[in-house]
């Protein structure tokens, strides 16, 4: 009881500070779905954009769990605008320089285009204050396989893995699925071109995908053996019932990454994870991930020497609590990575996200980074903030 009271007091102070500072995450919320069904965002979200158990079910079925006739009542198009700041942007050798970005405008569209076909597209129109932004997401899904329990995704898709990798309310992405081993930067959490089959029946979620790059568009380089090319088979198996808060599963990858010499680093990873949504009884939500990886030929060090094979490991642990009737969320994350080559990193951050009062499509996020950072040596916390607005553009 004392710990929970302290948690709420701290969260109230943190929220007040954020409001005074003029605050603010990047991900995809679906305002058109809430508008079509006439429900609150909390139907699918713990706090936008973090998904609850039902929202994760909608996500892994490629939206086919939603009624096509209901979705037809609204336009499938919406826009999103982000304004953000980062105290680590433009870091010099001595002192970090604060940066901000106001031009981050994206066009989204999602829903059905035929009875058994769904889609999602997100194109950045402006990104980091520049025009011609990248294509973030572009997939179509055929949903009439295995008595409608099978969903075949094609395009630039979300890789198989825990939902928080793509839909979460923290500003910083996760370190565990993006660990770098030598020249190889893992992309376990990235949107990548390829195809994925998802079998969703009851509590069973089984997914397998063949993935290429996360570039704006597929090119011949994705199929060549040039440095930087990455071809990956990824999978996930989980017990994830749509109306129960606990999800437990495993995910992994096998692939080849071409290092600077033109040789292939054949790698694999395996991870177990657990996610439990916050409970109305006062128990906060938890997310835990432990991952191990193997790289046969990680590449070269700074002196041009070939690195030995490496066995990496990484750990993510996060506790998060909705506040003020799910209008805010406070989270603490602790992550540790070991690339197996003598490089160990420890990351910690506190995140606060909240709905801006009287503005249903406006959300604000603030993050304090407390852990070690290889580029910032000031010893103090790093700060990030983000203001995110999404809205349907027509009835």
For the chain, the C-alpha Rg in angstroms (whole number) is 21
170, 175, 178, 184 alpha-carbon torsion, rounded to 10°: 150
pLDDT of res. 101: 85
Taking the C-alpha atoms of residue 327 and residue 48, their distance in angstroms, rounded to an integer, is 9
pLDDT of res. 340: 97
**Each residue's pLDDT tens digit, 70-101:** 999 999 999 999 999 988 764 333 344 568 88
pLDDT of res. 261: 94
Q: To the nearest whole percent, how much of the chain has pLDDT over 70? A: 87
pLDDT of res. 13: 34
Q: What is the mean pLDDT of residues 140-146?
A: 98
Which domains are delineated in the chain?
Answer: 2-29+144-392 (2.40.160)
Token couple for 105: 């405008």
251: left (phi over 0), alpha (psi -120 to 50) or beta: beta
Q: What is the mean pLDDT of residues 178-195?
A: 96
Q: Which long-range contacts (CB under 8 A, 24 or more apart) does 32-38 make?
A: 32/71, 32/74, 32/75, 32/76, 32/77, 32/78, 32/110, 32/111, 32/392, 33/58, 33/63, 33/66, 33/71, 33/110, 35/74, 35/392, 36/70, 36/71, 36/73, 36/74, 37/66, 37/70
pLDDT of res. 186: 97
Res. 216: pLDDT tops 60: yes
**Each residue's pLDDT tens digit, 23-61:** 334 445 688 999 899 988 889 999 999 999 999 999 999
Res. 268: pLDDT tops 50: yes
């Amino acid at each position: 009881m004392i710990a929970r009271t302290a948690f709420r007091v701290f969260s109230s102070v943190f929220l007040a500070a954020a409001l005074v500072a003029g605050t603010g995450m990047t991900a995809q919320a679906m305002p058109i779905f809430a508008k079509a069904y006439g429900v609150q965002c909390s139907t699918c979200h713990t706090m936008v954009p973090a998904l609850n158990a039902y929202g994760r079910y909608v996500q892994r079925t490629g939206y086919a769990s939603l009624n096509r006739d209901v979705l037809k009542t609204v336009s499938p198009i919406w826009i999103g605008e982000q304004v953000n700041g980062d105290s680590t942007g433009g870091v010099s050798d001595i002192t970090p320089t604060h940066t901000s970005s106001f031009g981050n405008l994206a066009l989204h569209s999602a829903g059905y285009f035929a009875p058994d076909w769904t889609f999602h597209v997100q194109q950045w129109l402006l990104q980091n204050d520049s025009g011609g932004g990248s294509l973030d997401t572009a997939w179509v899904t055929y949903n009439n396989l295995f008595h409608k329990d099978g969903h075949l995704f094609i395009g630039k898709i979300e890789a198989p893995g825990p939902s928080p990798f793509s839909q979460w309310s923290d500003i910083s992405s996760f370190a565990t699925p993006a660990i770098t081993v030598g020249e190889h930067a893992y992309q376990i959490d990235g949107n990548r071109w390829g195809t994925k089959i998802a079998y969703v029946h009851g509590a069973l979620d089984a997914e397998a995908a063949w993935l290429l790059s996360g570039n704006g568009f597929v090119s011949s380089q994705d199929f060549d053996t040039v440095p930087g090319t990455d071809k990956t088979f990824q999978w996930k198996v989980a017990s994830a019932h749509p109306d129960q808060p606990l999800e437990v599963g495993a995910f992994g990858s096998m692939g080849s990454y071409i290092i600077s010499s033109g040789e292939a680093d054949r790698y694999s990873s395996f991870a177990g994870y657990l996610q439990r949504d916050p409970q109305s009884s006062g128990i906060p939500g938890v997310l835990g991930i432990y991952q191990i990886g193997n790289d046969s030929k990680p590449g070269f060090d700074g002196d041009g020497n070939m690195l030995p094979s490496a066995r990496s490991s990484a750990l993510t642990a996060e506790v998060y609590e909705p506040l003020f009737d799910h209008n805010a969320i406070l989270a603490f994350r602790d992550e540790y990575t070991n690339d197996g080559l003598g490089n160990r990193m420890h990351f910690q951050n506190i995140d606060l996200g909240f709905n801006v009062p009287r503005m249903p499509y406006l959300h604000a996020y603030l993050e304090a980074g407390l852990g070690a950072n290889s580029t910032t040596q000031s010893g103090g916390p790093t700060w990030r903030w983000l203001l995110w607005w999404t809205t349907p553009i027509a009835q």
